[in-house]
Amino acid sequence: MKTRDLAELASRNLRESALRNSLTTAGIAVGVASLVAMLSLGIGLQQLAQNRLAGTGLFNTIYVYPKTNRAGGGRGGRGGGPPDESRPGDIKMLTDETRQQLASLPNVVEVFPELRFTADLRYAGGGHVTSAASVAASAKGTGQFDAVQGSFFSSESAAEVILHMDLAKELAEEGKIQPKDLIGQEVTLRYPQRKPVVAAPNQSSADLAANDEFGMGFTIAPAEAKVRIVGLVENEQAGPGGLGGVRMLLPLQFVEQLNPVQGSDVRSVVQSPDKHMYVSLTVKLTDPKYVSALEDSIKQMGFATFSLFDAARSLQRFFAVLDLFLGIFGSLALAVASLGIINTLVMAILERRREIGVLKALGAADRDVRRLFFAEAGVMGFVGGAFGVFLGWAIGKIINLGTNVYLARQDLPAEKIWSVPLWLVGAAIAFSVVVSLAAGLYPAARAARLDPVQALRYE
């Protein structure tokens, strides 16, 4: 049978039972719509999460930490046991040399430490001992300071401070003003400053050798600086490289000029008294695509690393499982619709037994009969799939609109939680056609097995 004749017969049969075939096609459309609507919501939520994380600039960030050398340099513990990992020599620390090495790696924009120290903030005759931390200039574009009252630092070395709202309320209560009135005022910052010990000029060679062995160390001297309050923040900004628990934020270069004493300085006295030790270093890259390769390079240098890509892998697995379950539940309606296709085509066999007998008597092969029923099932699947995609798109659009109305009532910005990419459109229609053809297997095989003599005698 020619393809043209096959298409003409299939279209005529579909027109003759227009109502029943339309209802079957509508069932397929509903199934595809539920599938598309659920998957589009899953894809939209995934894109929303990824865009939010990418907007923070954390995807192109690597956090570097000291790493314990578990080999222990061949030294055993007590009683010949495992290496003593608590010894300073077993840990490769982060120093200024390390910072320069990381900055020289390809595709690195900047490398900066997170400096934390304890300070006494003096205002209105009272003192507040609290924690302070440095903030790099690049933090302005990460979204962490979008909600700051006032402004961000004017420069990387400006004598300015951003206060946490809790500390600002305490200062405002003492000054009998509102917290926002603190912006622009000058306060005094008292802190312990690290100063190197200078060797005496009249030391003997034995004294110099002893000092070289144990290190000259440093002294801790009280120091103070005048800083101007430029902003107030509410959030803690906790997390890797975050500022959880810190109530004063200062520009990085300004903190480096202050040279405050940090917790890691105790270890530096033992290991390298003439060097700065860092608890962690933050490496900013030009593009997130270089994160994995650079992490491997840093690990080969003997340091531990963390990046948001590590967490993103878990997030991707979560959304993959979510999309799987949404697809399964959405496919249930399509499975029910496939039963409607089987029912429609089986009923068509009973109604068209005489027609099938005439076709076989005129020379139509079993393969031609199967192709006829497959063509009818495929057309219903394609039309139902195309209409179902449009219906699923409309459902997702309505859900997204309703969500934004709710967010607006909660004084929250609008979000796009729904997305229908082109690959989903093509996949949904193709899936609909495949399911329809699969549903037509049994009716087509049954029609092909009809005996032409018995079919012509039917009724």
Residue 73, pLDDT score: 43
pLDDT interval class at 24 (50, 70, 90): confident
Helices assigned H by DSSP within 301-365: 308-351, 353-361
Nearest to residue 451, comparing CAs of 311, 356, 351?
356
Would you say residue 79 has pLDDT above 50? no
Residue 160, pLDDT score: 93
Task: Look at 184-193, 325-334, 422-431 and tell me which has the smallest mean pLDDT.
Answer: 325-334
Would you say residue 75 has pLDDT above 50? no
Nearest to residue 442, comparing CAs of 345, 372, 315?
345
Helices assigned H by DSSP within 160-230: 165-175, 205-214
How far is residue 303 from each of residues 67, 185, 242, 381, measured CA to CA in Å? 5, 42, 20, 57
- Crossing angle of helices 308-351 and 422-439, in 10° steps, is 40
The residue whose two tokens read 């160390």 is 217
Amino acid letter for position 339: L
**Two structure tokens written together for 260:** 């405050």
**Two structure tokens written together for 82:** 């495992």
pLDDT tens-digit map of 335-354: 777 777 777 767 766 666 66
pLDDT interval class at 80 (50, 70, 90): very low
Separation between Cα atoms, residue 241 and residue 60, nearest integer Å:
13
Would you say residue 227 has pLDDT above 90? yes
Residue 207, pLDDT score: 55
101 membership: H or E segment, kind and range: helix 96-103
24 membership: H or E segment, kind and range: helix 18-55
Of residues 255 and 312, more confidence is placed in 255
Would you say residue 444 has pLDDT above 60? yes
Residue 82, pLDDT score: 39
Measured between its terminal Cα atoms, the distance across the chain in Å is: 26
pLDDT tens-digit map of 414-436: 888 888 888 889 988 988 888 88
pLDDT interval class at 241 (50, 70, 90): very low
pLDDT tens-digit map of 129-164: 888 888 888 777 666 777 788 888 988 889 999 998
**Mean per-residue pLDDT, 241-260:** 80
Residue 233, pLDDT score: 86
Would you say residue 333 has pLDDT above 60? yes
**Mean per-residue pLDDT, 274-292:** 80
pTM over cut 0.75: no
Q: Is 255 helix (H, G, I), strand (E, B) or coil?
A: helix
**Two structure tokens written together for 109:** 């924009």
How far is residue 289 from each of residues 59, 251, 292, 309, 385, measured CA to CA in Å? 9, 29, 7, 10, 37
Would you say residue 317 has pLDDT above 90? no
Separation between Cα atoms, residue 389 and residue 428, nearest integer Å:
7
pLDDT tens-digit map of 36-73: 888 888 888 877 776 766 655 567 788 888 876 554 44
Which residues neighbour 297 within 8 Å (Cβ) at sequence distance 6 or greater? 105
Separation between Cα atoms, residue 44 and residue 109, nearest integer Å:
31
- The chain-wide mean pLDDT, for the chain, equals 76
Do residues 311 and 49 lie in contact, with contact meaning Cβ atoms separated by under 8 Å? no
Do residues 354 and 459 lie in contact, with contact meaning Cβ atoms separated by under 8 Å? yes
% of the chain beyond a pLDDT of 70: 71
Residue 61, pLDDT score: 84
DSSP state of 94: B
% of the chain beyond a pLDDT of 90: 7
pLDDT tens-digit map of 357-409: 777 777 777 777 778 877 888 888 888 889 989 998 998 889 888 888 888 88
pLDDT interval class at 190 (50, 70, 90): very high
Which residues neighbour 436 within 8 Å (Cβ) at sequence distance 6 or greater? 28, 338, 341, 377, 378, 380, 381, 382, 384
**Mean per-residue pLDDT, 19-28:** 81
229 membership: H or E segment, kind and range: strand 218-233
Separation between Cα atoms, residue 459 and residue 454, nearest integer Å:
10
- 248-280 per-residue burial string, b: 16 or more CB within 10 A, e: under 16: bbbbbbbbbebbbbbebbeebeeeebeebbbbb
Separation between Cα atoms, residue 272 and residue 196, nearest integer Å:
12
Separation between Cα atoms, residue 309 and residue 283, nearest integer Å:
14
Separation between Cα atoms, residue 263 and residue 278, nearest integer Å:
9
**Mean per-residue pLDDT, 260-285:** 70
Residue 26, pLDDT score: 84
Would you say residue 281 has pLDDT above 80? yes
**Mean per-residue pLDDT, 83-91:** 48
Would you say residue 230 has pLDDT above 80? yes
pLDDT interval class at 81 (50, 70, 90): very low
Do residues 111 and 105 lie in contact, with contact meaning Cβ atoms separated by under 8 Å? no
Separation between Cα atoms, residue 284 and residue 319, nearest integer Å:
27
Separation between Cα atoms, residue 104 and residue 124, nearest integer Å:
46
**Mean per-residue pLDDT, 279-308:** 85
- What phi, psi does 236 have (nearest 5°)? -85, -25
**Two structure tokens written together for 330:** 């959405």
